[in-house]
Structure 1
Amino acid sequence: ARSCWDPEPCGAQGVFNQADVLADIETMETWMRSHPFIGYTGSYAQYVRLVNMLLAAEPGVKPDVKDLAIPSREFLTSIDPDDDRDPDGIVQLYNGLLEMMTSDGDMDSFVSADWNEGVILGFINTMDPRETHQVTMDIQQYIEDHKNDKGFSKVNFGLRSGPLGDLSGDTNELSVEGPNYVRPAVGGFLGATEATREVAMDNWLVGPLQTALAVFVIAALIFRSLLVAGMLIFTLMITLFAQYGLGGYFTSVEEWSGNLAFHLLVTLSIAMGLGVDYGIYILSRLKEEIEVTAGDWGQSLQNTLNTTGSAVIVSVVVLLGSFIPLVSTDLANTWGLAMYIGEALIIDVFTALMLLPTMVYWFKPKYVFGEYK
């Protein structure tokens, strides 16, 4: 039955009927609100504090804000050292009152229907990735420092994952002190942001290098030349490190929309793919022109630039025309994509039309020159 707190028919009320747990949540919220990068907070403890303040006032007397607190043993005895009331009994009474006074779903954001699961919400007042990272680290450290407090020692901080066969969160081996111990994660937008930051940190170099390796292998097989594949990769590395430089610049001026974060890592591989396309076009046409002109390098280069070179320039102009309008958007992800791809296209056209022919002339790969080498 609704609002039935008799343990015989209804069972145990749950950990949120214990004043020590709510008191530790209250203390953590107070700490969070004092953090320079956290604004408002909310939890089920706020409901209990409000009820305590309202019921502590005598009829007709204005509630005193000093009673806006969890009725823990420490709080009760600070007012009256002889107060022997049971804090858990008071909290259980408040739970029943709140259940009766609220509509279905009103408190679901903070506490589960069985009173055994709850959350603390905090609103981050910064978008600086360094500061959001600091908030995450500070919250995790607070939990580590206080996980054995009187109230928190009774709960599980369950935002842990794996191993795949045991997703029980704080009760599995990941929560046991030792080499496999994992700190509980932070949920919500901040947690998702931090998770993507960690992915970006792990893949900002590995991902593009894997793309470069794939391009090298495929190019070597297509052209049957390690030298040609190496020249293509060299041009791609110029584009790649130019993009790293752009990311560093945006970070230095605190333009976080262009920070080389998770959502922009894909642009590195896209830019490398576009760059190798232009290089392949130029190499293939140079080979054809060398055969037609019987090894006349000057004429072959001129013919290549007049035909395929012009097509590459037109292609770049068209692509730039499609990305430049995106720079005016207020969507950070789209703006960053346009900036990185736009920069890569400009660099790609210069490396394909100027640097690559120069390297071909210097190294004279057999694929291009054949018998005229």
Structure 2
Amino acid sequence: MSEQSHFFNRVEISLFANPKLVLLAIFAMTLFFAWQIPSVKMYSDFADLLPQKHPYIELHNEIKDNFGGANVIIVGVEVEEGNIFSNETLELIHQVTQAVDNLPGVNHNLVSSFTHRTTRKVWLTEMGNIVSDPYYRPQDPLMSAEALTELSKAVVANPQVYGPLVSSDMKTALIKAQLNEGALDYEKTFAQLQQLRTDYAREGINIYATGQPVLVGWAYYYKDQIFQILVFTALIMVTLLIFHFRSWYGVLVPLAGVLVSTTWGIGIISLFGYNLDPLGLVIPFLISARAMSHGIQLVERYYAELEETRNSHDAARRTFQNLFRPGSLGVVSDAVGLLLIAIGSIPLNTKLAHYSSLWALSIIITVLLAVPLLLSVLPIPSKTQLKQNVLRHVADSASGVVVANPALILMVGLVLTVGGGFVASHVTIGESEPGSPILYQDHDYNISSKAINDSFPGSEELYIVAEHRDEGGMKKPEVLRELEALQRHMLLDPDVGGSKGMPDLIKQVNRLLHNNDPRWQQIPKDEFYVGGLMFAYMASSPIPGALKEFVDPSERVANLVFFYKDHQGETIRRAIHTAKQWIEENDGKVDGLSIRLAGGTIGVTAAMNEAAFDTNKVVLPLVFLLIFAFVMIFYRSLQAGFMMFVAMFFATTLTYAYMGLAEVGININTVPIIAVGVGVGIDYSIYMMDRIREEMVRRGDLRESVRAALRTTGLAVSFTAITLIAGIVMWIFLSDLRFQADAALLLSVMVVLNGIAALWLVPSWVLVFKPKFITQLSDDAGEIIQRNHSQAPSEDL
């Protein structure tokens, strides 16, 4: 026996010599972690969703206070009949604007609405002075029909208002409010926004709301529903445990392991000082489900061992001997998949990786160790024989099929993998449809987004920032003409609904100073003249920072805004590609000028998509490589590692094929699920491989060993897979969050595919290729089994 096995044997003897003492220590640690739970907070921080090291996000952080960012609320007020230019509607728009401005967390300097004080009409007086007034004054008496007509004409004459803030059919007015980033109270802001929509609702008036803060608010809104579903899921899983085991041991022991593991996990979150994000709750749930899965495996094996030994302590110890090491290998695989998520630069995933990997590792103590120790001190259960249910008959039939047709099964697996790889190549990076995939298409949020995007150039903004090395560089005519050329180039994209920038403003003011003659709507040739136009525009407004949305105070940095109707992955890729193409062709053409990408909703989402893709591209190969290495080292066999690699590759390839068919994109929400799914699946394959190896020691016949493993461990794997699916599948029917439903479907598919790999591919591979680490057993494996047998007073072999 090797030194490693001697050490493991000594630890095992020590643990089972004092099981109550060890359990008491685990209980004390559980109380310690439980004490930490009340300090855990649940909230969303927008900055946690952003890959902070990405150049787009670095730019976003630089400009968000001056030009705004992606954390913006967009409200649309629409009239069903006529247009918005009536006294009643204008007053309503003004009231809604003020109410939006007063929402918690709003940056009052970055509110846009055509009735807001910062949006002003500019004209030239008879004396040659430029003056400005707000478009709407609430203190004025009711406007006449002529005055309302003049107001509508003034709005149409200003391209900064007509189109961006008032729809072309004049039926909808838009209100935008930028939120300050940080630990915002999204729940409170959303509640007040929804109350605002209720308070100002009128017959014939529709009030829409969209934007990232609104989306997060909806996630908070369904928080109670999420917890209800989790409770309902737990009840279903308990019901299945009762149906399967028909005993309190089979129900309460796995549940005790889950409860202890969950307590440790949430306590770890508290010790890290991290917050729980509502959108990230699926991963903690998965870890708890995996804890239950290991608990079921242990109780199943305990019952089997008890049939032979009729001694609770010996049966528990043999269960520990046979399942602790493969179970620990599976847990480490789970933890590796979770920890590697931190490779990406998204803080939410980094936090998730830190606490969830430790949570997963805690299962080694809270379940793989604690459950056998608990079983060793409990009295023998009255029922130790599991009844022959339908699942057992299926397992018996499946074992016969696998043993009879292993080569055919491998060939079918190869064909599915190749076909799945082709379909997987069409998976979208980012979103695959308009609106938000977190909610259903008929949800109020997506209806609001569609209504606003149908009426306006687009609610999704792309910021392209121009910088000049000299202060005042944005006043140079050659710089403005270069920016104008960039705007023309971007407008060739059919998805661009419009744009806004310094060139537009300069040409508009120049035209205004020349009696509104369209021939003067051009960029002047003199830098000082451009500066005069900018000064005239600022002087016309009593509101400080009139140029702030276009250029910074040093007049060195300018912002170009392009409006898009959605942030689908293809739309974003085309937008970024179009911009990069122009930058590459024109880089250095104007001395001192540089163009930087990208801000706004489109830029931020592009960074998130690129970070998710890069993370996915690095994490999955690393997960595969590390699990391959762990299995190879653990079993001292290259063939063992390669077999696990084949199982992982089959399940993962077909998972991506499903994502391609179901139009589920690769984004910051799906990457963690895929990573943890790989670890979930490899547990099944490891258990199956280890049981075949163990049965080979007992029986010496490979076919019979495979058949016995499928009837025992195969049954446990099937039941744990069904239990997990039966729980999460209910989210499809009960959750109003589409993301949760899609995640449940994705996880169900991954569980099924990994179960197929474990129950069909692994045994078939063993039968066809007859790996030496199974057919020619190591001394350690033989000694372990012999030691197990010698501990029983009598055995029926």
TM-score (norm 2): 0.35
**Alpha-carbon distance, 1:302 to partner:** 4.9
3-state SS, counterpart of residue 558 of structure 2? coil
- Counterpart of 2:650 in structure 1 is 238
**Alpha-carbon distance, 1:147 to partner:** 4.5
3-state SS, counterpart of residue 141 of structure 1? helix
Cα distance in 2, alignment partners of residues 297 and 147 from structure 1? 68
- Counterpart of 1:272 in structure 2 is 678
**Alpha-carbon distance, 1:96 to partner:** 1.9
Cα distance in 2, alignment partners of residues 119 and 234 from structure 1? 51
* Structure 2 residue 748 is the aligned partner of structure 1 residue 311: no
2:476/2:527 contact within 8 Å kept: yes
**Alpha-carbon distance, 1:90 to partner:** 2.8
Cα distance in 1, alignment partners of residues 649 and 695 from structure 2? 27
3-state SS, counterpart of residue 121 of structure 1? strand
Cα distance in 2, alignment partners of residues 93 and 324 from structure 1? 65
Cα distance in 2, alignment partners of residues 313 and 109 from structure 1? 60
Cα distance in 2, alignment partners of residues 34 and 189 from structure 1? 20
1:279/1:352 contact within 8 Å kept: yes
1:26/1:45 contact within 8 Å kept: yes
* Post-superposition CA distance 1:302-343 (Å, at most 9, x none): 553344323222322233245435557787865664444332
The one of 74, 78, 96 aligned to 2:535: 96
* Post-superposition CA distance 1:286-313 (Å, at most 9, x none): 3344444x33556644553344323222
**Alpha-carbon distance, 1:112 to partner:** 0.6
Cα distance in 2, alignment partners of residues 13 and 358 from structure 1? 72
3-state SS, counterpart of residue 491 of structure 2? helix
Cα distance in 1, alignment partners of residues 736 and 489 from structure 2? 34
The one of 535, 554, 562 aligned to 1:114: 554
The one of 715, 731, 752 aligned to 1:346: 752
**Alpha-carbon distance, 1:37 to partner:** 1.9
**Alpha-carbon distance, 1:215 to partner:** 0.9
3-state SS, counterpart of residue 123 of structure 1? strand
* Post-superposition CA distance 1:39-78 (Å, at most 9, x none): 1211233333332233322xxxxx34554x34413xxxxx
Cα distance in 2, alignment partners of residues 324 and 18 from structure 1? 61
1:239/1:271 contact within 8 Å kept: no
3-state SS, counterpart of residue 157 of structure 1? strand
3-state SS, counterpart of residue 259 of structure 1? coil
**Alpha-carbon distance, 1:348 to partner:** 0.8
Identity of aligned residues (%): 22
Q: How does 1:40-119 map to 2 (within 5 A)?
A: 40-57=498-515, 63-67=516-520, 69-73=521-525, 87-100=526-539, 101=541, 103-119=543-559
Cα root mean square deviation, aligned: 3.5
1:16/1:116 contact within 8 Å kept: yes
Cα distance in 2, alignment partners of residues 367 and 30 from structure 1? 66
Cα distance in 2, alignment partners of residues 136 and 285 from structure 1? 52
Moved more, 208-217 or 97-106: 97-106
**Alpha-carbon distance, 1:123 to partner:** 1.6
- Counterpart of 2:572 in structure 1 is 132
3-state SS, counterpart of residue 36 of structure 1? coil
The 1:327/1:91 distance shift into structure 2, 3 A limit, reads farther
Cα distance in 1, alignment partners of residues 648 and 569 from structure 2? 29
Cα distance in 1, alignment partners of residues 705 and 474 from structure 2? 81
- Counterpart of 2:448 in structure 1 is none
2:502/2:550 contact within 8 Å kept: yes
3-state SS, counterpart of residue 39 of structure 1? strand
- Counterpart of 1:358 in structure 2 is 764
More strand as a share of residues:
2
Cα distance in 1, alignment partners of residues 741 and 514 from structure 2? 55
Cα distance in 1, alignment partners of residues 547 and 475 from structure 2? 15
Q: Which runs of no fewer than 5 residues in structure 2 stay unpaired? A: 1-469, 783-797
The one of 286, 302, 305 aligned to 2:692: 286
- The structure whose RCO (Cα within 8 Å, separation 6+) is larger is 2
- Counterpart of 1:8 in structure 2 is none
Cα distance in 2, alignment partners of residues 245 and 119 from structure 1? 41
**Alpha-carbon distance, 1:278 to partner:** 0.4
**Alpha-carbon distance, 1:120 to partner:** 0.5
1:15/1:21 contact within 8 Å kept: yes
The one of 156, 162, 170 aligned to 2:593: 156
Q: How does 1:114-263 map to 2 (within 5 A)?
A: 114-147=554-587, 153-157=590-594, 159=596, 185-195=597-607, 206-249=618-661, 255=663, 258-260=664-666
Q: Which amino acid aligns with 2:634?
A: I
TM-score (norm 1): 0.69
Q: Which amino acid aligns with 1:44?
A: M
Cα distance in 1, alignment partners of residues 547 and 721 from structure 2? 56
2:503/2:523 contact within 8 Å kept: no
Between the two proteins, the alignment pairs up a number of residues equal to: 308
3-state SS, counterpart of residue 760 of structure 2? helix
* Post-superposition CA distance 1:157-204 (Å, at most 9, x none): 253xxxxxxxxxxxxxxxxxxxxxxxxx44444344445555566665
3-state SS, counterpart of residue 555 of structure 2? coil
3-state SS, counterpart of residue 753 of structure 2? helix
